[in-house]
Structure 1
């Protein structure tokens, strides 16, 4: 099932999500559907509020095959700073640079209810922080340093790759 994406300024996007207290069949089905929805919309991450669910759940595309599922994720350490361009499925045609931690240590649960801790840096750390912001009722446009058009964002990314 492909969920419709909730668009800004829907109030749900500015609401803190509730902690998951039990792994249910419905939650597992939602995780599967979130993955399908993220892929259908060419996203790299998707948080439950973006599909109308007030739960501390997000999915992140790691590569062509692997998806990271985060239940009740929390950043327990962060370090460094990185400024880069971001966009969001819930805020179409908005692009801008955002300052994020360069590295994070994350604690979360998986669909079996097992707890994990992982370190992430650079692009993955940025995506994790973006999705956790959604779970905390925050959107990236509240943090934009410099706004870009789609063309300007693409040019910025090309120039960054050339460096």
Structure 2
């Protein structure tokens, strides 16, 4: 297992439609394990193969308190409802924004052993599934932000928080 480098926007691989995986073999299982390690190392809850420079239809999901897993060649079976939520991405680390996502989804595909898998997701899982499948189609969350007002810089926000913490916790000079 290896931690792979995350491709950052505007890397062209992030805009390509990923290719379907014809056979789940040892190379795909290694990719899955590497993606899981990379996702964990970057504190993500999902990762798509294009984010590590591999234009194949493979995602990994890692919800809090659950064992991470892969979905190969994922497809939506059903989407229900709509909600607006804050979203960010390991491939666009400096931005976050408000996007519309489904309230719940059902996705089918193959697991890392090539066996059929079906996943029902609500809330964070639903969001992660939609976000990662978007990556397989060359779509980034910034494409789904309705207006520039709903996009914000994450780095600046973090720096502001650190500045606020420093200024409030520093003792005054006397």
Q: How does 1:101-112 map to 2 (within 5 A)?
A: 101-112=102-113
Worse overlay, 85-94 or 113-122: 113-122
CA distance in 2, matches of 1:54, 1:104: 24
Structure 2: gaps (5+ residues): 162-174
Q: Is the 8 A contact 1:62 1:68 kept in 2?
A: no
Aligned residue in 2 for 1:148: 152
CA distance in 2, matches of 1:50, 1:118: 22
- 1:64-123 CA-to-partner distances (Å, cap 9, x unmatched) read 451121100001111100110000000011000100111111111001111122211111
Aligned residue in 2 for 1:77: 78
- The count of residues paired between Structure 1 and Structure 2 equals 153
Question: Considering only CA atoms, is the larger Rg found in Structure 1 or Structure 2?
Answer: 2
Name the SS for the 1:138 alignment partner: coil
Aligned residue in 2 for 1:158: none
CA distance in 2, matches of 1:75, 1:35: 22
- 1:10-44 CA-to-partner distances (Å, cap 9, x unmatched) read 11101000001111111111111111111111111
CA distance in 2, matches of 1:104, 1:65: 18
Q: How does 1:118-157 map to 2 (within 5 A)?
A: 118-145=119-146, 146-150=150-154, 151=157
CA distance in 1, matches of 2:65, 2:10: 31
CA distance in 2, matches of 1:34, 1:94: 22
Aligned residue in 1 for 2:170: none
Q: Does 2:28 correspond to 1:27? A: yes
CA distance in 2, matches of 1:47, 1:59: 6
CA distance in 2, matches of 1:63, 1:143: 25
